[in-house]
Amino acid sequence: MISFRPMTRDEYPAYVEYFVNDYACEIESNYGLSLHDSLARAKQEISELLPAGVNTLGQVLMCIVVQSEKANNHVGYLWYKPDSTKRTVFIYDFHIFNSSQGLGLGKQSLCAFEGYLQEKGIKEIRLRVAGDNVRARHVYETSGFGVTGVNMSKSIKD
């Protein structure tokens, strides 16, 4: 069974390390920046969006846990921002650890998250996925997400 629990302050540094590296690779791949510049941008963005870490108002950082009779295994992260006025949430990051991928936990986690949000009166989940992230797109699309737009960019050379 999938459940969610708040990320602790002690877990936050490991999350930031994962997120910055993962996001920097996405920036490098999709925007053509150097790895150095991509890392700088990823660090800047997370520090702006989460200035107080796990205690940043309006942002929710959770750990995804698989509960069994023997143990509770931390298998991933979920970062989202709720909008109570619109009754929506925006997922900033959803990650199943590499060691836990391929077991259906992504789809199970999204289903559990949907049920969790439904109990809170949330009516819509929004997110953005990188165009080259085929695996994530597959998980989202088979979980019922539809494309609502396409982000595009063009670098202007000096």
CATH number for the domain including 88?
Answer: 3.40.630.30
Judge whether 15 and 6 are in contact, CB under 8 Å: no
Residue 86 lies in a domain: yes
pLDDT digits over 23-45, tens only? Answer: 999 999 888 889 999 999 999 99
Range of the domain at 29: 2-142
pLDDT given for residue 119 in this prediction: 94
Locate 4 and state its tokens: 């969610």
Residue 90 lies in a domain: yes
Share the mean pLDDT of the chain. 92
In this predicted structure, the answer to whether residue 154 has a pLDDT above a threshold of 90 is no
Residue appearing with tokens 């700088």? 40
106 DSSP 8-state letter: H
Question: Using DSSP, how many helices (H) and how many strands (E) does the chain show?
Answer: 4, 5
Residue 55 lies in a domain: yes
Q: Could you please report the per-residue DSSP string of 26-79?
A: HHHHHH---HHHHHHHHHHHHHHH-TTGGG-TT-EEEEEEEE-SS-EEEEEEEE
Residue 158 lies in a domain: no
- Number of structural domains the chain divides into: 1
Residue 150 lies in a domain: no
pLDDT given for residue 152 in this prediction: 76
Locate 35 and state its tokens: 């790895």
Residue 149 lies in a domain: no
φ/ψ of residue 86, rounded to 5:
-85, -10
Residue 116 lies in a domain: yes
Residue 151 lies in a domain: no
- pTM tops 0.75: yes
